[in-house]
Amino acid sequence: MKWTAVVAALLVVVATVAADDAHKQQVVNRLLNRITCHIPSAYAELKNAAETYDPAHDDSHYTDGGEAARHLVQEINDHRVLEQHHWFSLFNTRQREEALMLVDVLLHAADFATFEHSAAYFREKMNEGEFVYALYVAVTHSPLTDHVVLPPLYEVTPHMFTNSEIINKAYTAKMTQTPGDFNMEFTGTSKNEEQRVAYFGEDIGINSHHVHWHMDFPFWWNGEHIDRKGELFFWAHHQLTARFDAERLSNWLSPVDELHWDHPIKDGFAPHTSYKFGGEFPTRPDNKAFDDVDGVARMRDMIITESRIRDAIAHGYVEKEDGTHVNIDNEHGIDVLGDLIESSVYSPNAAYYGALHNQAHRVLGAQADPHGKFNMPPGVMEHFETATRDPAFFRLHKYMDNIFKEHKDKLHPYTKEELQYANVQITEVDVGELSTYFEDFPFDLGNALDTTETVEDVKVTAHVSRLNHKPFTYNIHINANHAEKVTVRVLLAPKFDENHVALDINQARWAGIELDTFWVDVPAGDSVIERSSSDSNVAIPDRISFPTLIHDTDEAVANGSPLSFETDHHARGCGHPQRLLLPKGTTNGMDFHFDVYISTGEDSVHDNVEDGNHGYCGMHGQKYPDKKPMGFPYDRHIPDRRLYDGLKNLHTQTVKIFFREDH
């Protein structure tokens, strides 16, 4: 009876926690649903909170005594905040400050009821874009919302991800009460060679990963320290650039060229996208010479900023504000440089080294109207959710990637002693078929449309062609001298350039794509490590659609049952789309190096690391799990490939990636 009572009590606790998670999920769903409509929240409890809650007089429910809430209420009462029905850009200093005021309020909520009521109150009084950004960041970082799954942004603010033509068709469908499913084409035509790789830059999964990465690791973040944030900035964007180059090679294009401040921007871009409020995204013509941007930066300032960073790399140290030096000629220097180049709050001297990355986004975004003559809204480069659509994004990041490479190439190459691992020999690696294909992906447009109580909603969706790959497995055959936990790193790198000239090891290593890094216990003797593409620790599955999220959550709340989806598996939006793990390849098969490198399990920071998405996104609230530099063992210059050829713990083979048009 005693144990029966304990089990019963535990079941009650589990049920209570499950119901609490479902309630939190429902609240966040409802806060975001129809956020850009011209009407207040349709949900009675949120509407009541918005009308009756007074955050300025609820000091005891905030961990800062209500200071942040009172400050934001005062700003609103003084009519100092951005009006509703207006575009929002994180790169606009004042708009960002306002959004962060709300982040501050929500992160200081002492309990979820306060979080809920505060969000409901400010939802009706703040700009919609500021509110969405603040809520997403707060849910991402607050311990009160650990198990809340954020809906895909492309279904919360569809205008940012969808061509204007499709939005117009969606409105027509709503007005005529005719359900519709519309095919969305990529921007440009076959006359533009960049159109061949538009499926990657305009992929809504890539767009989503990029914006969520910058929510997980905001450049303005001054809260609890985020481990290796600067290095993660380098690595996540280096991998995006390497993936883009692999797609270019798959489509008979040369790797993307870097951007130069004193050269014209070769490729123009016409977004064919409109803000919900604020008109069309500006268009940039081909071969546009850089203009100074009023209130942002002069081109000579960008060149000076770059030269100061390159001087720091050449000298091997960064000068802090107090004149002291931070040595960067070591494995931690990349972390300092990442903070410096972005630049984040962690920069040791932002006044001197500037903010190369952030200012570059603003400069590129404003080239259509650099002097504000036409009062145009921000360009796609001034939003993290739209930036990758512009080919200039990858030129910019190749430019910064080359600066990072300059630093990495200065470091002493790895020695044989640093690379070898005597316990394990890799004898063979079996790799399954690697093939890709295009498929149609539908997403909901309901949140793009205004609604009233007198007009019925109709189902309106868009579908877009997207790259996917056939699930694959690989088996790593090893022989171990003794049982031990080991670290396994799996990388993919193109074998040839666009002219089918073989890449040497130094060219291939920098173009390498991390497929997986994981830890596993191996027995003594012969054994096989089996791994699936779906296990990858750099990727995440498709986001749960917003309509499904709403339906399943409402059902769970109504029935008092747990949520039907795994919240831990879907909670983070940061992570490369799982279906884009492989580059497109070619119909005849494109050659890649498939490398497996095994080292000691002592490389792990944690005793146990569960599969997730830590490769590009770290572990939320914890130290990055791998002690080694990101990209190891290929992150440094290799003076002689024979050093790597002789490693028994490294296995390299050639694989082919096939593109199947008739999948």
Model confidence pLDDT, tens digit, residues 411-463: 999 999 999 999 999 999 999 999 999 999 999 999 999 887 777 889 999 99
Pairing of strands 576-577, 539-540: parallel
Strand 424-431 relative to strand 325-327, pairing? unpaired
The one-character DSSP state at 500 is S
What is the pLDDT confidence band of residue 663, given thresholds at 50, 70 and 90?
Answer: confident
User: Tokens for 118?
Assistant: 């505060």
Predicted confidence band of residue 610 (pLDDT cuts 50, 70, 90): confident
SS3 364: helix
CA distance 294 to 136: 31
Q: If phi over 0 gives left and psi between -120 and 50 gives alpha, with beta otherwise, what is residue 316?
A: left
| Local confidence band at 569 (pLDDT 50, 70, 90 cut-offs) | low
> Residue 608: what pLDDT?
81
Chain mean pLDDT for the chain: 93
Give the distance from CA 307 to its chain's centroid.
Answer: 28
Residues with Cβ within 8 Å of 300's Cβ and at least 6 positions away in sequence, in order, are: none
Distance CA 296, CA 327 (A): 30
One-letter amino acid for residue 514 of the chain:
E
Phi/psi for 431 (5° steps) reads -115, 130
**Euclidean distance between CA atoms 399 and 14, whole angstroms:** 51
Distance CA 260, CA 634 (A): 27
Hey, what amino acid is at 382?
E
The candidate with the shortest Cα–Cα distance to 339, out of 350, 331, 351, is 350
Q: Exposed, middle or buried: residue 121 (CB in 10 Å: 0-12, 13-18, 19+)?
A: buried
Q: What's the token pair of residue 197?
A: 């790789």
Residue 354 predicted with pLDDT over 80: yes
Q: Which residues contact 496 (CB under 8 A, 6 or more apart)?
A: 249, 502, 503, 591
> Is-contact 128 36, C-beta < 8 A?
yes
pLDDT bracket for residue 254 (50, 70, 90): very high
Q: Can you give the pLDDT at residue 7?
A: 34
State the angle between helix axes of 391-410 and 356-365 in degrees (0 to 180), rounded to the nearest 10: 160
**296-316 pLDDT tens trace:** 999 999 999 999 999 999 999
- 478 — pLDDT class (breaks 50, 70, 90): very high
pLDDT in the model for residue 593: 98
d(CA 409, CA 587): 36
- Residue 147 has a pLDDT of 92
Q: How many residues in total does the chain contain?
A: 663
Give residue-wise pLDDT tens across range 224-236. 899 999 999 999 9
Residue-wise pLDDT for 1-45, tens only, equals 343 443 333 333 334 556 699 999 999 999 999 998 766 677 888
Q: What would the two tokens of residue 143 be?
A: 């311990």
Beta strands in 156-279 (DSSP E): 180-184
Whether residue 343 has a cis bond before it, omega within 30° of 0? yes
- Please tell me the predicted confidence (pLDDT) of residue 607: 84
Radius of gyration of the chain (CA): 25
- Whether the link from the prior residue into 633 is cis, omega within 30° of 0, is yes
The model's pLDDT over 514-545, given as tens digits with 9 standing for 90+, comes to 999 999 999 999 999 999 999 999 999 999 99
What are the DSSP E strand ranges found in 502-618? 513-522, 525-532, 539-540, 576-577, 590-600
Average the pLDDT over 113-142 and give the result. 97
| pTM of structure | 0.95
Which tokens belong to 243?
């993936």
Give the distance, in angstroms, between the CA of residue 10 and the centroid of all CA atoms in the same chain.
Answer: 38
Residue 37, classified by CB atoms within 10 Å of its CB into exposed (0-12), middle (13-18) or buried (19+), is middle
pLDDT tens figures, 31-86: 999 998 766 677 888 999 999 999 988 788 999 999 999 999 999 999 999 999 99
**Residue type at 571 in one-letter notation:** A
Please report where in the chains the tokens 């069309």 appear, as a residue. 280
Burial degree of 287 (CB within 10 A; 0-12, 13-18, 19+): exposed
Percentage of the chain beyond pLDDT 70 is 96
State the average pLDDT over residues 313-326: 97
Rounded average pLDDT over 187-213:
92
pLDDT band at 643 (very low <50, low <70, confident <90, very high): confident
The 10s digit of each residue's pLDDT in 481-493 is: 999 999 999 999 9
The closest of 101, 68, 345, 96 to 223, measured between CA atoms, is 345
Instruction: Give the Cα separation of 526 and 425 in Å (integer).
Output: 10
Contact 525, 483 (CB under 8 A): no
Task: Return d(Cα 395, Cα 303) in angstroms, integer.
Answer: 16
Phi-psi region of 631 (alpha: psi -120 to 50; beta: other; left: phi over 0): left
CA atoms within 13 A on the CB side of 241: 25
**Residue 307's pLDDT is what?**
98
Q: Which of 341, 344, 343 is nearest to 400 (CA)?
A: 341
pLDDT value of residue 568: 60
3-state DSSP percent of the chain in helix, strand and coil, to 5: 40, 20, 40
